[in-house]
Amino acid sequence: MKGKRVPSVEDGLQSQLRNIEKAYGRTIDEWVSIVVESRLQKHAEVVAMLKQRHGMTHAAAHRVSLVARDRTAPPPAGAKVLQPPLQDVYTRLLEKVGSLGDDIERAPKKGYISLRRRKQFAMLQPGAKWINLGLVLAQHRPTERLEPAASWNALFTHRVRVATPAEIDGEIDSWLRAAYDAAG
């Protein structure tokens, strides 16, 4: 199997979205518009509506609901309006977080969004040149990329500066998953 790339979580999500578009005859953007127009806010209500009105399977309705929530989430209170490259990074990071599970609370704070399970495990803070991803990873040693966060924000053990969508990779996936798992 030398030379074969192992599919990432992102590859799986993109495949699922393509399959939803093919199976239900609308683009994901159209499904997000349907969710927005429904004015439903709770995940379970959105899933139920998509299943009842549009005949979606639970898995498809769940994914569309998560994508709609991520794409329509208001920026945190006091956050800067992000330019397209950083908005893409912010949106992709929120999608990654949404793929971890249904039990994540997104708590907007002044200038950032706190991500909690039973306890806070991560945060996203827009900056001028990158999105700060704060993580609680007590068992991880800092690296060049996974910086210690003590001087930046004492609530987190590590920070990753993410400037482009290409930087959202398997390493970030594994750090997010580890922080999420430890918070549950």
Find the range with the poorest average confidence among 13-22, 73-82, 123-132: 73-82
The three-state (H, E, C) secondary structure of the chain, written as one string? CCCCCCCCHHHHHHHHHHHHHHHHCCCHHHHHHHHHHHCCCCHHHHHHHHHHHHCCCHHHHHHHHHHHHHHHCCCCCCCCCCCHHHHHHHHHHHHHHHCCCCCCEEEEECCEEEEECCCEEEEEEECCCCEEEEECCCCCCCCCCCEECCCCCCCCCEEEEECCHHHCCHHHHHHHHHHHHHCC
152 or 1: which carries more pLDDT confidence? 152
4 or 147: which carries more pLDDT confidence? 147
Tell me what the mean pLDDT of segment 170-179 comes to: 95
Return the pLDDT at 173. Answer: 94
Return the pLDDT at 176. Answer: 96
Confidence of residue 9 (pLDDT cuts 50, 70, 90): low
pTM value > 0.95:
no
Find the range with the poorest average confidence among 39-53, 72-86, 116-130, 160-174: 72-86
Chain-wide mean pLDDT for the chain?
86
